Each structure stands twice: as structure tokens, then as C-alpha cells.
Amino acid sequence: MLRTCANVLRQRTSQVWVSVRLMGNDPSPGSINAAHDKFAEREQALENSYFRKQNEELLAKLRQRHDDLEKQSDVIETEQERIEAEIKKLEQQREELMRKGQKTSKA
């Protein structure tokens, strides 16, 4: 009977000790990395690598989108120049027709 009581007490105290030890003294966020051990440094390096990769992918997508928009802009400018040339041509034809119409009405 005495042994079972001692075992129960030992188990309870070890459970309390483990839970206190896991909680730590510093409840602030990031307190795990406050120790600056090799695991924390490696974790920070992996995190930096991940976000650097994400940024590079986003920049690549942004550059591709920019290039696509530049090409679309060039196509639109070319089409606009073609339309303006067509408008000038039609205006010249209209002026010629008006001149011919005025000459025939005078005669």
C-alpha cells in the first residue's frame, strides 16, 4: 500500500514538473527562439528561404504580367496608328468628293 502511494506521488510530481517546464518563464510569442540555439537559427533560415522563394515567384509573375501588358500596349498603339491613318485617308477622300461635287455644281 505504501508503494502505490509513493508511485502515485512520484507520477503526480513528475507530471507537474513536466507541465511547468514546458510552459517556461517567458510567455511572449517567439520565446522559443529566444534561446538562439542551432535549431532556432535553422528554423529562421528555412523561414527566410521560404519567403525569399515566395517573393521571387511573385516577382517573376509580376515581370511576366508587365511584359504581357507592354506587348498589349504596343499592339494597341499600332492599331491606333493604323486607324488614325485610315481616318486621314477617308477625310482626304471626302474632301476630294466635295471638291468634285462643287465643280460639277458650278458647271
pLDDT digits (tens, 9 = 90+) for 33-49: 556 688 989 999 999 99
Q: Where is pLDDT greater, at 60 or 15?
A: 60
First and final C-alpha spacing in the chain: 138
Q: Where is pLDDT greater, at 70 or 7?
A: 70
For the four alpha carbons of 17, 18, 24 and 29, in that order, the dihedral sign comes to negative
Q: What gap in Å lies between CA 86 and CA 13, rounded to an integer?
A: 93
29 found inside a domain: no
Domain that holds residue 93: 43-105
Going by pLDDT thresholds of 50, 70 and 90, the confidence category of residue 20 is very low
For the four alpha carbons of 35, 39, 41 and 46, in that order, the dihedral sign comes to negative
Q: What gap in Å lies between CA 103 and CA 96, rounded to an integer?
A: 11
37 found inside a domain: no
Q: What gap in Å lies between CA 55 and CA 48, rounded to an integer?
A: 10
Q: In the chain, where does DSSP find H-type helix? A: 2-23, 38-106
Q: What is the pLDDT of residue 102?
A: 86
Going by pLDDT thresholds of 50, 70 and 90, the confidence category of residue 96 is very high
Residues in the chain: 107
Q: Is residue 65's pLDDT more than 90? A: yes
- Total domains in the chain come to 1
23 found inside a domain: no
